[in-house]
Amino acid sequence: MLVLKDDGNLYHYQQENQKFLQLNISSMDFNKVLSMTIDSNNLLWIFATGNNTRCYRLNHTGKSVTLIPEKPFGHHGLKHAFIGEDSAYFIDETYALYEYSFSNRQCYYIADLKDEIEKRGEVSSIIKRENDFCIGFKSSGLIVLKYEANQKIKYRIEYTEIQSGIFCLMKDKFQDIVWVATDGEGLYMLYNDTFTMTNTLLNTPAYQVNNPVRSLYLDPQQTLWIGTKGSGILRIPNYLVNNTPEKHDRLITGNSTLTDNSVYCFAPGGKDRLWIGTENGINYYSYSTHQLKELAVQANGTKVKYVHSIDQTNDSTLWISTVGEGIVKVTLENQRKDPIVKHATRTLVSNGHMASNYFFTSYRESSSTLWFGNRGLGAYRIDVRTGEMAQFRFNNLVNSQTANDVFAIHKNEQGYWLGTGSGLLRFYSNEDGNPDSISAKLYTNSTVHGILEDNRGNLWVSTNQGLMRLNPQEQTKQTYNNGNGLAVTEFSDGAFYKDNATGILFFGGVNGFVTVKPDSYITTDYMPEISLKGLSIFGKEYNLHDFLHYKNGKPVLQLDYKHNFFQLNFRITDYINGNDYFYSYKLKEASDQWIENGVSPNAIFSNLSPGEYTLFVKYRNNINGKESHPQAFTIYIVPPWYLSTWAYVGYFLLGLLLCTGIVAYAFYTYRLKRQHMMKKMERQKKEEVYESKLRFFTNITHEFCTPLTLIQGPCEKILTHKETDIYTHRYAKMIQQNVEKLNGLIVELLEFRRLETENKMLSIQPQPVSEKLRDIAESFGDMAENREMNYCLDIAPELTWNTDLSCFNKIAGNLISNAFKYTPDKGNISVTLYTKNERLILKIANTGKGITPENLGKIFDRYKILDSVEMNGKNSRNGLGLAICKNMVTLLEGDINIESTPGELTTFTVSLPSLPPNGQEVPQTAYEAASPSIPTEEVQELPEKYTQEFDANKQTVMVIDDDPSMLWFVSEIFTEKYNVLSFNNAQKALDSLEQRQPDLIISDVMMPDIDGLSFTSTIKQHKLWSHIPLILLSALHHEDDQVKGLESGADAYVTKPFNVKYLEKMVYHLIRREENLKEYYSSALSTFTWKEGSCLHKEEQEFLEKMTEVIEKNLANPDLQVELLSKEMGYSSRQFYRKLKPLTDKSPADIIKEYRLSTAERLLVSSNFTIEELMDRTGFTNRSTFYKAFSQRYGMPPRQYCEQQKKNVKEGQEITNT
């Protein structure tokens, strides 16, 4: 493949390397190149404007290509050049068209195109078809140079109907077709046939005729007469089929003596006269005087009108067919210049009934026989000598009266042909030579308007659906419509005419007329192959190729057994006569009979049994009457799985396993019963565990009362003692707060137990719920003010409701307390009370974190409530308060609902009915009479960071816990020995690590947002923080929880409650271990590996440590060599080598060098020393030696290495921030 690029260079594509290689030739102006090709002689031709044509011989040497210049043929400067199959067609500067043959290397003159190019502009394409040349112009149509061998000028210009711009021309691979791509008019198909069809549309600005054409006549002077229905007569002088008329004129009633503008027929009346039949009578045109005159005809006292045909049988007799007035015979007196009617007689049928005397056409069979076509009564034959009339009807042919509507009549060797409302009808003569209507046969099923026979014996039939060409001898027919380029497809009655001099046929229609001109071109028989085009299953179209499989290299259409109703569509690629094929098919395995399918290329199959079938398809070409060879297609219907080979194997195995299946089923049933029993037992056990937990918590709360009292009392004594110091007061206050917490939990447990055991007695009485709710809500006002909350109360005034007051107070208090507990500072809380539909509605809404959808169902789960009590913390939902609310609402026959949008708003809605008073006075317990619990602020709450002064000489401990009391307590433990950084959530701790890194971290596990395990994973995955020791504190004691803590990366896991001394020692040793590691890795000793995998004796270890000390001591000495090192250690050089060799593979010189470089690297990263200071401290005297050794060890010079390490640290910090 050769490519000419826009840079003017020529490139060859080398397929092995898949590259384009430039060829060594002089470049050319790309814009001047017209075309390029390689001919059959292996010559490369490059045609360019002017005299720049080049020719090269291609020389293939291995994988390379070289070009050898050749001398091109001589020519004038080129303007256009196009490539044909074995020729080049070019137009030179003189506008002459030439053909250059590549095979014989001869140049032939074709034609002078100067006038056409000047008129039409630039040529866009030239193609040769047979001996003719098709020439397309970029903006003005297509012309054809027709070859005429017997003429002096060999090529004649023939104009086409295409007037738009031409993009390109291309010859079809299979048929004699030239495809014409136009600018705006789509794709045209140009081909030769035995005839040429030409469309002439009259509803154009050129003619401005919008009425149907009803009659046509071409007179000897080559004037085309066109009669219309309503627009008079259109005359085109010097008419030529293929040329655009230069002029035309119109004859109407307003500019002539035309009797009516509806003209239905023309008939020659001798050399000097042309008869014209109109709606209102008869006119004639005199060729000698060039005048149009009227012939006044009266028959039986009335004027003859509605004339549809005229036949002049001799010089003085006219036969006229009329619509509604029968058949009129007119005798003329021709002695004068203008004809005069001597007398006229009218022949009527059916007793003169007007509807029975509609005669639309006439046909002269011989000088003595005329035929007339009637609408409704068939055809009439008249012997003009005797006046005898015979009628022919065709009622036995079709069940339609339209078979007797005759609009056209013709006779040839094959019999009589009638154009009827039911189609083309043919009947023969009997043994006596008379027509026999009983033998009639119908050929088409559309209305026929005209019948003409061409010079080759073909019948041309105009219908309301196009033109049909019928070959009676070969019994073939072809239909022409829009698909064949026919612009007039609906034709008119009587509008057909044959010019016997030229053989041209004329057919008129509703928007113009069509001419059919015979040509000398002889078509070749084209018999295309049949292929499968489409597949539809149960009426739905599918991609055929999805069902094609290949077996032994042949395609097989494979369908599933369920596809038992499908249709196959065939395809024959014939663009010229694609509608003129009759198809037949048979399915060999199903039937030996061919199914005639007519023009339909579809085959329908249903209920085919599984198996392989062979479908044979053939067609009959209606143009040439030939039949194709049958083509075979294989269809395979896949059997259902239960009839496949594997299915039978399965049946055998199924029978073999049947007994086993029965046994397995019995075991399966047994397992189901057992599982059912196990689930029942699990439910019972779960209920028992729940009850045991509830009893345990209830019992233990009673046991807690006495110890709590003994704790609470001494705390109050200590707190009220005047001599109590601040330290003691602080811890006593902390004890008192946690006693109150535990006491509150005990109260809730007792209440929950009573509700669960249904021991709660109700006292239903009218209660002032508005007043009570306002008292409860306002008790939270101080807290709302301190926390800068937007606290809104919307309580209906003076509302009284039948309910239990203690339950109502508990419900309201717990819900409001819950809202304050989970609302952040500066948040929103609203309390609403109103009645709706005879129910009391209490709504408490708060902003905050909210409740996720998956947790909404667990809020009131009775089995989950007690589990959370063990892990209760300040910000953990233990659920007891809400569970009590739920049980009390249920006890009051009400409903409680939760709506929550995480991160936005949570709303608790309580709906209570008005219960009938029961008159009971139920004594209240101490905790029932108590006011609802109000969340209090922690007394010993610390700020986010511990507020002690920072001591640079102390290590730093970071403490994270969401419980302020625990945070203060743990921080207080270490405040004397360490700097303490304290945070109440993990995110603040992570933000602090960006500024300062502690020596150790202590974190709680159960925290909101980021829990302790996630926090630990984040720390240990960060390369700048992973070395920090981390201790987890947790109330979770289970071994699995401890394993999870250590897996997250924690160095220790301490359970609550813990021994303070134990925690202090653990912190001390972890910090000490970290310092030892830092000391080790900061020493040069860590850079060496001493005999990996082997144990060192004590004296060997001492030898290595002493050697390291000597190197460290003399590191800055440039003279530190083996001799100095061995002398300092008390050995001779030989003894030193012998002592060192079993311990390491490195030589003393290498050890000294590694020690110097390791120390230099550490100082380079951790200090601000200059390169010269580093060299002095590590014993290097030569700068280039130092740089070379450092680069070999670390892969880059010292300064670049330092910058790289700083960059790595900065990137690590940026990753952490994101």
Average pLDDT, stretch 504-533?
87
d(CA 1019, CA 1021): 6
pLDDT at 1142 over 90: no
Q: For the domain made up of 956-1078, give the CATH fold.
A: Rossmann fold (3.40.50)
Residue-wise pLDDT for 962-1013, tens only, equals 888 888 889 988 988 999 999 988 999 998 988 888 999 999 998 878 899 9
Going by the DSSP 8-state scheme, the letter that residue 323 receives in this structure is B
Q: What is the pLDDT of residue 589?
A: 87
Query: Which strand ranges, in their side-by-side order, compose the sheet holding 602-606?
Result: 540-542, 530-537, 565-572, 602-606
Average pLDDT, stretch 731-756?
70
Residue-wise pLDDT for 591-632, tens only, equals 889 998 888 899 999 988 888 999 999 998 877 778 899 999
**Is there a cis peptide before residue 1148, judged by omega within 30 degrees of 0?**
no
Is 761-929 in CATH node 3.30.565.10?
yes
Residue-wise pLDDT for 226-248, tens only, equals 999 999 999 999 998 877 788 89
Q: What is the pLDDT of residue 196?
A: 83
Report the candidate in 349, 359, 361, 445 with the shortest Cα–Cα distance to residue 397.
Answer: 445
Query: Which strand ranges, in their side-by-side order, compose the sheet holding 956-960?
Result: 979-983, 956-960, 1000-1004, 1030-1034, 1052-1055
Highest mean pLDDT among 388-392, 473-477, 694-698: 388-392
The domain limits of the chain are 2-189, 198-518, 530-648, 761-929, 956-1078, 1084-1217
Domains 2-189 and 198-518 in one fold: yes
Comparing 575 with 579, which gets the higher pLDDT? 575
Q: What is the pLDDT of residue 14?
A: 73
pLDDT at 471 over 70: yes
Q: Which residues pair with 900 in a beta bridge?
A: 906
pLDDT at 878 over 70: no
Mean per-residue pLDDT of the chain: 84
Q: What is the pLDDT of residue 1096?
A: 59
Of 47-51, 457-461, 702-706, 992-996, the poorest mean pLDDT is in 702-706
d(CA 1155, CA 724): 62
Amino acid identity for residue 104 in this structure:
N
Of 179-188, 699-708, 1146-1155, the poorest mean pLDDT is in 699-708
Confidence of residue 871 (pLDDT cuts 50, 70, 90): very low
Which helix (H) or strand (E) is 516 found in, with range? strand 512-518
* φ, ψ of residue 136 in degrees (nearest 5): -105, 140
Q: Which long-range contacts (CB under 8 A, 24 or more apart) does 423-430 make?
A: 423/447, 423/448, 424/448, 424/451, 424/459, 424/461, 424/468, 424/470, 425/394, 425/397, 427/392, 427/394
Residue-wise pLDDT for 46-62, tens only, equals 899 888 888 988 887 77
CATH superfamily of the 530-648 domain: Immunoglobulins (2.60.40.10)
Strands 459-463 and 466-471 turn out to be antiparallel
d(CA 826, CA 596): 90
Residue 877: strand, helix, or coil: coil
Average pLDDT, stretch 11-23?
75
Comparing 398 with 784, which gets the higher pLDDT? 784
CATH superfamily of the 198-518 domain: YVTN repeat-like/Quinoprotein amine dehydrogenase (2.130.10.10)
d(CA 654, CA 664): 14
CATH number of 1084-1217: 1.10.10.60
Confidence of residue 937 (pLDDT cuts 50, 70, 90): very low
Contact assessment for residue 589 and residue 614, using Cβ atoms and an 8 Å cutoff: yes
Q: What is the pLDDT of residue 928?
A: 46
pLDDT at 19 over 70: yes
Confidence of residue 849 (pLDDT cuts 50, 70, 90): confident
Strands 1000-1004 and 956-960 turn out to be parallel
Highest mean pLDDT among 257-261, 1053-1057, 1104-1108: 257-261
Residue-wise pLDDT for 792-813, tens only, equals 999 999 899 999 888 898 889 8
Percent of the chain with pLDDT over 70: 88
d(CA 938, CA 741): 11
CATH number of 2-189: 2.130.10.10
Beta-carbon count within 10 A of 477 CB: 20
The reply to whether the predicted model has a pTM over 0.75 is no
Of 171-185, 966-980, 1138-1152, the poorest mean pLDDT is in 1138-1152
pLDDT at 419 over 90: yes
Q: What is the pLDDT of residue 370?
A: 96
pLDDT at 696 over 70: no
pLDDT at 930 over 50: no
Q: What is the pLDDT of residue 926?
A: 43
Q: What is the pLDDT of residue 927?
A: 44
Report the candidate in 1133, 155, 537 with the shortest Cα–Cα distance to residue 546.
Answer: 537
Residue-wise pLDDT for 327-355, tens only, equals 999 999 876 678 899 999 999 999 889 99
Q: What is the pLDDT of residue 695?
A: 64
Q: At what angle do helices 1012-1021 and 1039-1047 cross, to 10 degrees?
A: 30
pLDDT at 943 over 60: no
Residue-wise pLDDT for 111-144, tens only, equals 999 999 999 999 999 999 888 999 999 999 999 9
pLDDT at 68 over 80: yes
Average pLDDT, stretch 313-330?
93
